[in-house]
Amino acid sequence: MTPSVLIIGYGSDLRGDDALGQRAAEMLLERYGEVANVTVLQRASLTPELAHDVSLADVVVFVDCDADAEPAVITRHDTVPIDDASAAMVHFLDPPALLGWSKLLYGSEARGVMFTMGGVTFECADELSTPVESAMPELIDRVSAEVDAALGDREVVDA
């Protein structure tokens, strides 16, 4: 059975490069919009109700900007749920807390993967910086490779 994959690209779309997660989701939606077992969500932040969406997935791929990383440098790492999410806030969560929240509420065993890319500017703006914009195709390729691998390398069920 083909696993189901949830992609969540998030960040503020009014804060320069912080929008790269949402922009990536937009581009990935073009690629996977017709694939039945892939769901792509654009969000300003990770909110508690996403726990339910996470619970329906086998693999969750998060895409976000990293304010502390070198500009346009892409990083991939596994994300594991945290058991004690007491420091998490009500209105937004980080990926480990969201996975933990979904595990606690729904028994989710979703595997989490996080892709980040370093940003350049976070001032009020509705466009990405040139370095980040230039690196977006590479980010999309790397996320797509992860998604395709999760789907079983081409065992994609078309809607």
Partner 1 sequence: MTKTITIDPVTRIEGHARITLQLDKKGQVDDAQFHVTQFRGFEKFCEGRPFTEMPAITARTCGICPVSHLMASSKACDDLMAVDIPPTADMLRRLMNLAQLTQSHALSFFHLSSPDMLLGWDSDPAQRHIFGVAAKHPELAVDGVKLRKIGQTIIEILGGKKVHPAWMVGGGVNAPLTEETRQKMLDMLPEALDIARRTIKWYKQTLGQFGEEVRTFANFPSMFMGLVDKSGGLEHYDGYLRVTDENGKTVEDMIDPKRFHEVLGEAVEKFSYMKFPYYKARGYPDGMYRVGPLARLNISDHAGTPIADQELAEFKDLHRGAVLSSFQYHYARLIEIIFAIERMKQLLEDPMILDPHVRARARGNRNEGIGVAEAPRGTLIHHYKINDDGQITWANLIIATGHNNLAMNRGVKQVAQHFVDGTKLQEGMLNRVEAVIRCFDPCLSCATHAMGQMPLHVQLVDPTGNVVDEVLRD
In this complex, which beta carbon is closest to partner 1, that of residue 106 or of residue 144? 106
Shortest distance, CB of residue 51 to partner 1, whole angstroms? Answer: 6
Shortest distance, CB of residue 85 to partner 1, whole angstroms? Answer: 5
User: Quick check: 76 and 141 in contact, CB under 8 A?
Assistant: no
**Whole-angstrom Cα distance, residue 103 to residue 86?**
15
Shortest distance, CB of residue 11 to partner 1, whole angstroms? Answer: 12
In this complex, which beta carbon is closest to partner 1, that of residue 103 or of residue 140? 103
What order of strands is seen across the sheet that includes strand 5-10? Answer: 38-43, 5-10, 59-66, 111-118, 74-79
In this complex, which beta carbon is closest to partner 1, that of residue 89 or of residue 145? 89
* Helix (H), strand (E) counts: the chain: 4, 5
Shortest distance, CB of residue 93 to partner 1, whole angstroms? Answer: 10
In this complex, which beta carbon is closest to partner 1, that of residue 41 or of residue 120? 41
Rule CB under 8 A: which residues touch partner 1?
42-44, 47-49, 51-52, 84-91, 101, 104-106
**Whole-angstrom Cα distance, residue 118 to residue 53?**
27
What's the maximum distance between 2 C-alpha atoms anywhere in the chain?
A: 45
